[in-house]
Amino acid sequence: MKAVVLRQHGTLEDLAYVDLPAPEIGPDEVLLEVKAAALNRLDLWVVEGWPGLRLDFPHILGSDGAGVIAAVGEQVEGFQVGDRVVVNPTLSCGRCDFCRAGRENLCDEFKIIGEHVPGFFAQLAAVPARNLLALPDHVSFAEAAAASLVFVTAWHMLVVAGRLRAGEDVLVVGAGGGVNSAAIQIARLAGARHIYVVGSTAAKLAQAEALGADALINRSEGDWGRALYAATGRRGVDVVVDNVGAATFHTSLRSLKKGGRLLTVGNSTGPRFELDNRYLFARHLTIIGSTMGTQRDYETVMGLLFAGRLQAVVDTVYPLSEGVEALRRLERGDVAGKLVLEP
């Protein structure tokens, strides 16, 4: 089968489009004929690698996949060859205390498909049946793959970990990016009163507005913290979503009302920075981190997508053979929505 693989950690020069043997499936797995696989920033971090990440090379990238079942393991129930499915990218053991409590994204053996084990940038993938969700005929493979990781992540962050309530004001720092696009839509669906979005370009802000943001701040026009403060009548917001990190965290904390929550699932500008603890305790602030989501979160948020209440934002669909070029484009950052590969 054809696949986009990483030969060793390094740069995008270490990627290649190659032939590999088809994967073998275990008794509780299915063989997925991949019809669509979506890119995430996670793919770029896996290319670089980090201490503690140990991969078998060549490693197949790609955390988001949808397709048709080509074979089923002997213990698989409820799915058959020919079924259209989409895959929850969070892997969990099913046995530890967290898993038994339905908190699979805290699993002792937590893994992400494409990060720790082979992913979906290939014609075929072996996937645990417990991660599958039946895909209705009216939803395309590309839409489903584009939605999976970012929607389950944004849902868990805002609704489960962040306990967003109707009537609260939300600030999303960053207008591009899949998690932010999902967060804007989910905040709207959850009944947020005002959704403020800080973005770098008019085009990205226009897209944020189309997804449900109602107050846009262009950070290229000056101090966005001041602009937010003015826009909120000098009160700040209840909830900030900040996945930018080092460049914005301090201003994000200052944008919160007393008792506010800062939610984070990542850090595109760097993970290490200083905090002024006086802001935290004196203003009763909470910082909430989370990553990925549970199977229940996944089924809930994908159900909303299938019902047309949330939309995947797809920028471009490429053939799998152009996967390396698509990753180069993601690295350059000139994208407004998800990039999808079709084997």
Contact by Cβ (8 Å): 235, 256: no
| 22 forms part of the interface with Zn ion (CB under 5 A) | no
Report the residue number, 100 or 284, with the smaller CB distance to Zn ion.
Answer: 100
Q: Which of 93, 206, 246, 324 binds Zn ion (CB under 5 A)?
A: 93
Return the residue matching tokens 């994208």: 335
In the bound complex, what is the minimum distance in angstroms from residue 107's beta carbon to Zn ion?
Answer: 3
Is residue 160 a contact point for Zn ion (CB under 5 A)? no
How many whole angstroms separate alpha carbon 37 and alpha carbon 253?
35
Give yes or no for a contact between 113 and 127, defined as CB atoms under 8 angstroms apart: yes
Q: Which two tokens stand for residue 91?
A: 């892997």
CA distance 313 to 189: 16
Question: Which of 91, 326 has the CB closer to Zn ion?
Answer: 91
Query: Using CB under 5 A, which of 30, 34, 39, 107 touches Zn ion?
Result: 107
Length of the chain: 343
DSSP code per residue over 109-131: T-EEBTTTB--SSBSEEEEEGGG
Phi, then psi, of 23 in degrees rounded to 5:
-70, 150
CB closer to Zn ion, 284 vs 296: 296
From candidates 40, 92, 148, 153, binder to Zn ion by CB under 5 A: 92
Q: Per the structure block, which two tokens stand in for 99?
A: 């898993």
- Residue 292 near Zn ion by CB under 5 A: no
Of 66-74, 93-101, 197-205, 291-299, the segment contacting Zn ion by CB under 5 A is 93-101
Selected range binding Zn ion among 73-81, 90-98, 228-236, 303-311, rule: CB under 5 A: 90-98
C-alpha dihedral over 208, 212, 213, 214, to 10 degrees? Answer: 130
User: According to CB under 5 A, which one of 99, 127, 145, 208 is a site residue for Zn ion?
Assistant: 99
| Distance separating alpha carbons of residues 291 and 152, to the nearest angstrom | 9
- Minimal distance in Å, beta carbon 94 to Zn ion? 6
Quick note: the x/- pattern for Zn ion over 180-219, rule CB under 5 A, is ----------------------------------------
How far from chain centre, in Å, is Cα 239? 19
What's the closest the beta carbon of residue 92 comes to Zn ion, in angstroms?
5
Q: Based on CB atoms, which residue is closest to Zn ion, 99 or 265?
A: 99
96 binds Zn ion (CB under 5 A): yes
Q: Which residue has the tokens 């109602």?
A: 214
Which positions lie near Zn ion, rule CB under 5 A? Answer: 92-93, 96, 99, 107
